[in-house]
Amino acid sequence: MASRSAAVDVLADVVGWSGLPKWQPDWEVTERLLGLALPDDYKALLDTVPMGEYAGTVSMNAPTLRGHEGDLLALFREVMLSLKSGRKKPYAAFPELPGLIPWAEFDHPMGGTLFWLADEGNPNSWPVVAWGADGNWEEYDVGAVGFLIALVRGKLPSKLLAPKPGAPAYRTSQDLPGAPNNTGR
């Protein structure tokens, strides 16, 4: 379990989450499969706030689903294949470094994927990169939690992502049928 951070506490407060996740990712397995450590804020977030949807637009799942427990890249298999095929992209795909590692999807207004631009340095310094379905890219000099805080507060400087009007700041998906549970809660 990753240690809580002040930023995760801020995000949990902003979105009104005070419960406990029903799935605790096994970060040792996830990082071993990836061959890299992941950002601490991302791990602390999923250890504190369960998978769900932020601002009606960003969907975040734990690396647990579809028979590939702990495999973050398997969760985004099609996206990774798209990055490696077709026209040249402005960023390389992991395992090339620096390269993109996906961590969430968004669907408003155009849709797309959120990545870290991973390198061999400190994962807590990896910027977030958005790739829109329209082929546009944006880079943010914040981590996953800082990105989500800005999004739900309506302060994310983006042409690709915006809070969906009328959507709640956060909606958990841990109680949906078929959602993983390894804590017995």
The SS3 call for residue 50 is coil
| Distance of alpha carbon 143 from alpha carbon 164, whole angstroms | 21
Tens digit of each residue's pLDDT (9 = 90 or more) over 19-65: 888 778 888 888 988 999 999 999 999 999 988 999 999 999 888 64
| Distance of alpha carbon 37 from alpha carbon 66, whole angstroms | 22
pLDDT for the residue numbered 25: 84
The SS3 call for residue 75 is helix
| Distance of alpha carbon 61 from alpha carbon 46, whole angstroms | 9
pLDDT above 90: percentage of residues in the chain = 59
The domains of the chain are located at: 6-172
Across the chain, what does the average pLDDT equal?
A: 88
Residue type, 26: D
The set of residues, in sequence order, having a beta carbon less than 8 Å from that of 90 and lying 6+ positions away, is 137
Token pair listed for 49 = 């706030």
| Distance of alpha carbon 174 from alpha carbon 181, whole angstroms | 8
For residue 1, name the pLDDT band (cuts at 50, 70, 90). low
75-112 as b/e, with b when 16 or more CB fall inside 10 Å? bbeebbeebeeeeeeebebbeeeebbbbbbbbebeeeb
Tens digit of each residue's pLDDT (9 = 90 or more) over 149-173: 999 999 999 999 999 999 999 999 8
For residue 185, name the pLDDT band (cuts at 50, 70, 90). low
| Distance of alpha carbon 44 from alpha carbon 144, whole angstroms | 11
Tens digit of each residue's pLDDT (9 = 90 or more) over 60-102: 988 864 445 668 888 888 999 988 887 788 999 999 999 999 9
pLDDT for the residue numbered 153: 96
Token pair listed for 30 = 């996830």
